[in-house]
A = this chain, B = another copy of it.
Amino acid sequence: MVKMPVTIKEIAREAEVSTATVSMILNNKDKSISEATRNRVLEIARNRNYVPNTMARSLVTKQTRTIGLIMPDIVNPFFPEIARGAEDRASLSRYSIIYCNTDDNLSRENTYIDILTEKMVDGIIFTHSADRQGGAEGFKRCRVPIILIDRDYDLPNVIGKVLVDNTKASYTGVNYLLDQGYRKIAYIAGSIHTRTAMDRLEGYKKALADRNLVYGEEYVKIGEYKSQWGSEAAKAFLDEKIDFDAIFCGNDLIAIGAVKALKEAGYRVPEDVGVMGFDDIYMAGVVEPALTTVKQPNYEMGYRAAELLINAIEKTDSPEKIEEIKTVILDTELTVRQSTKKGAAQ
């Protein structure tokens, strides 16, 4: 297993040419090299199982063909899709991805940014972390371009963003419920501390306002992104005898909990009460087929982020004027799993 690596030097000697020639041939920059030597060199390289040393190459070219992917936690089903999208786009252009879990921890984020710049990655895709308060101390030593996903911070080195229009998304979702015949739509929010959550709430309010539907603040409950909370909140609505016929939820976990509570209380979903989730966690469909959700295009977000980054890296032609931050805003999509029409037969 401890095979001594073959270098271009050895190949050059064996082929009786210079290392420059070998290098050019191996990199397809052999415009002016005879077919004869070309084939000879290629043949030898193949026979000797030549593997280029990318360290040496990168040292010269200042490119590693590696991208860093920083995210809170790959075990959270939100992220694998993003990671996969990024990887698929990256590997198309023969970039590799170094992945880093931060657990939403600022100091781990900073550590990773350091490590990635030391590793000389060509760029970083930064997926949202709840904590980060815009603090830029961790970026002092960072020298690589950054693409933001999902959250819009003001950070140094950011050259692009891939975002979702959350207001529009929940607006669309609530409108779907209205179109299905529901008229009294309650809202169970998760944490409301993030921009994302507030935008969603705003979309909900806007959809109602557009149809001149107004009802009090008792229709909105704020808690956390857990199914437990969904159950509690739904029960609370029932206990308080709020007159609602649908619930829009801050995310799918909440929705799953809400559906459970409603069913336990004897309601049929969606015939009696429509419930809609958001985000589409993995398996939401398996868990609760009655659930229609607003799906965030995670895979595409990862894909587009990698694309933005690679374009920026390779567009060395436009020198310094990468001043404008490219922003991609993706649409969410409605995943209708089962008719959610009010009063529909089972």
Q: How far is the CA of A96 from the CA of B120 in the complex (A)?
A: 13
The B-contacting residues of A in range 36-74, CB under 8 angstroms, are 49-56, 58-59, 64, 66, 73-74
A128 interface residue, CB < 8 Å from B? no
A75 interface residue, CB < 8 Å from B? yes
With A75-B81, A84-B75, A283-B283 in contact, is A51–B118 under 8 Å at CB? yes
A110 interface residue, CB < 8 Å from B? no
For A79, the chain B residues whose CB sits under 8 A away are 80
For A214, the chain B residues whose CB sits under 8 A away are none
User: C-beta contact mask, A97-141 vs B, less than 8 Å → 1, else 0?
Assistant: 111110000000000001111111000000000000000000011
Instruction: From the candidates B74, B115, B253, name the one contacting A94 in the complex (CB within 8 A).
Output: B115
> Does the CB pair B287–A120 fall under 8 Å?
no
> Does the CB pair A97–B96 fall under 8 Å?
no
Q: How far is the CA of A100 from the CA of B84 in the complex (A)?
A: 9
Would you give the shortest CB distance from A3 to chain B, in whole angstroms? 6
Q: How far is the CA of A140 from the CA of B50 in the complex (A)?
A: 10
A286 interface residue, CB < 8 Å from B? yes
Q: How many copies does the complex hold?
A: 2
User: C-beta contact mask, A274-312 vs B, less than 8 Å → 1, else 0?
Assistant: 000000011100110000000000000000000000000
Would you give the shortest CB distance from A346 to chain B, in whole angstroms? 12
> Does the CB pair A77–B282 fall under 8 Å?
yes
> Does the CB pair B97–A99 fall under 8 Å?
yes
Q: How far is the CA of A281 from the CA of B283 in the complex (A)?
A: 10
A145 interface residue, CB < 8 Å from B? yes
A11 interface residue, CB < 8 Å from B? no
Instruction: From the candidates B64, B116, B227, name the one contacting A286 in the complex (CB within 8 A).
Output: B227
Would you give the shortest CB distance from A68 to chain B, in whole angstroms? 9
For A74, the chain B residues whose CB sits under 8 A away are 74, 80, 83-84, 87
For A282, the chain B residues whose CB sits under 8 A away are 75, 77, 282-283
A147 interface residue, CB < 8 Å from B? no
Q: How far is the CA of A52 from the CA of B119 in the complex (A)?
A: 9
A183 interface residue, CB < 8 Å from B? no
For A58, the chain B residues whose CB sits under 8 A away are 55
Q: How far is the CA of A125 from the CA of B98 in the complex (A)?
A: 14
> Does the CB pair B80–A2 fall under 8 Å?
no
A256 interface residue, CB < 8 Å from B? yes
Chain B, Cβ-Cβ closest to A64: B55
A239 interface residue, CB < 8 Å from B? no
Q: How far is the CA of A53 from the CA of B96 in the complex (A)?
A: 19
Give 30 CB contacts A-B under 8 Å: A1-B159, A49-B140, A51-B118, A51-B141, A51-B143, A52-B118, A53-B59, A54-B119, A55-B55, A55-B58, A56-B59, A66-B98, A74-B74, A74-B84, A74-B87, A75-B80, A75-B81, A75-B84, A77-B77, A77-B282, A87-B101, A88-B101, A96-B98, A96-B115, A97-B99, A98-B98, A99-B99, A227-B286, A253-B286, A282-B283
Shortest beta-carbon contacts, A-B, top 7:
A74-B80, A55-B58, A55-B59, A75-B80, A49-B141, A287-B287, A283-B283
